[in-house]
Amino acid sequence: MSGTQATSGATSGDPAVQSLYQRLGGAGAVDAAVELFYRKVLRDPRTARFFDGVDMDAQIAKQAAFLTVAFGGPNNYTGQDLRAAHAHLLDRGMGEEQVDAVIELLGATLVELGVSPIDIAEVAAVAGSVRGDVLSR
């Protein structure tokens, strides 16, 4: 995942006009990041318990599709809206600490993959922008 790598297709080579999705490296890069991200999530005591019994292959696919849209890529997301998707987790005690942990782990994933600090900050801003929906506020 490179901060300047473009996806295939008719896109501008100028990073200033590329979507975040394109700057991150497109589908392959998002898929790789989501895989690594969930390895971190499943090892972290702040987040791991919320994935007990979850089909992680399906979860990874849904998350990759969601992030693709959120980062300005093609819309193939067919999952629930964020409030509905996370309501059961609120009942299990998910709160600010877990949202903060997810954003932190996503950032650590992107650092590990060599993403530029500017793009990591934009990813964190996107993730932070949905906090209210995830926490049903």
Question: Which amino acid does the sequence have at 39?
Answer: R
CA of 128: how far to CAs of 14, 28, 87, in Å?
Answer: 26, 24, 18
Q: What is the pLDDT of residue 2?
A: 46
Q: What is the pLDDT of residue 5?
A: 37
Q: What is the pLDDT of residue 13?
A: 58
Residue 102 — φ and ψ, nearest 5°?
A: -60, -45
Alpha carbon distance 68, 70 (integer Å): 6
Q: What is the pLDDT of residue 15?
A: 59
Residue-level pLDDT, tens digit, the chain, 137 residues: 544 333 333 445 565 689 999 999 999 999 999 999 999 999 999 999 999 999 999 999 999 999 999 999 999 888 889 999 999 999 999 999 999 999 999 999 999 999 999 999 999 999 999 999 999 99
Q: What is the pLDDT of residue 4?
A: 36
Q: Indicate the DSSP class of residue 13.
A: S
Q: What is the pTM assigned to this prediction?
A: 0.83
